[in-house]
Amino acid sequence: MRQTTIAKKVHNVGIGLHKGEPIRLTLEPLEAGSGIVFYRSDLGVSFKAEPKNVINTQMATVVGNEKGYISTIEHLMSAINAYGIDNIRIIVDANEIPVMDGSSASFCMLLDEAGVRELDANKKALIIKRAVEIREGDKLVRLSPSKSPKFDYTIKFSHPLIGTQHHVFEFSKKAYLKEISRARTFGFLKDVQALRSMGLALGGSLENAVVIDENKILNPEGLRFENEFVRHKILDAIGDLALVGAPILGDYTAFAGSHDLNHKLTLAVLADAKNFELVDLTAEVVREYQKVFA
């Protein structure tokens, strides 16, 4: 199985969640072995999508260094992961990826427009060899060996419209497009008001998030899925885990996970070579994990 990139350069413009300003997004093909590279055109600075370049996980996953940063990368990274794209350059002219509709569906459409092209190099995958878990209080995230990788996620909120939600997603591009890509980010009205008082979430609206007050969903169209909240958490996790730089062949389990716990999990996995094996995706390996590449 070969490494991939996109077939052609594509553009889009969207609103930044926090500043509320238009952001131009461009996706460009890259050569084999380049990985996923973010570029701030307004600063002339690049950041590779790697766990070591993550500098903040408080409200989103942020990559950068002392020269600059790019925030809210997880939804785009999620789509790139689902499409199996190994090498791509992501260009923005601001400090965040546009929020689009709060899901990854718009990024999937952009990747469909770009197309996928094979390169003359073997694709690699990261096979989980032993379980690695990060636990903080009652919160946990875990990667464990599996022949049919899946995302098993549980969330628990005191809000009556969310409560406890659980979803199991068997990973494949086809299933991702149907079950996960349209799930939107969500927030509570009181939190949005607090963030705006600090000059954040200025681009947030009912067009790009599910917003909940004390007893109802404010979006007139309602939810896209009965359990859209937990599905979006899976979308985020798929994007966060993509920072390891190769498809992960293993089960992901989470209870009340977060960007921060996902980041700590990627660091923990890569910290010990006994946790994983980086392999070329030969025909034999692809057959063994055939559901992933459906």
Residues 185, 152: Cα–Cα separation, whole Å: 18
Helix axes 228-241, 259-271, angle to 10 degrees: 30
At residue 252, the 3 state secondary structure works out as: strand
CB–CB of 22/15 below 8 Å? yes
127: left (phi over 0), alpha (psi -120 to 50) or beta: beta
**Is 159 labelled a binding residue?**
no
Side-chain-side CA neighbours of 4 within 13 Å: the count stands at 19
Residues 39, 47: Cα–Cα separation, whole Å: 6
**Is 112 labelled a binding residue?**
no
**Is 232 labelled a binding residue?**
yes
Annotated catalytic residue, options 18, 167, 259, 263:
259
Starting at the edge strand that comes first in sequence, how are the strands of the sheet with 164-170 ordered? 132-136, 139-144, 251-255, 150-156, 164-170
**166 in catalytic set:** no
Q: Angle at CA 122, nearest 5°, toward 118 and 128?
A: 115
Residue 228: partners with Cβ closer than 8 Å, 6 or more residues away:
183, 184, 186, 210
**What are the catalytic residues?**
259
Annotated binding site: 75, 232, 236
Annotated binding-site ranges for Zn(2+): 75, 232, 236
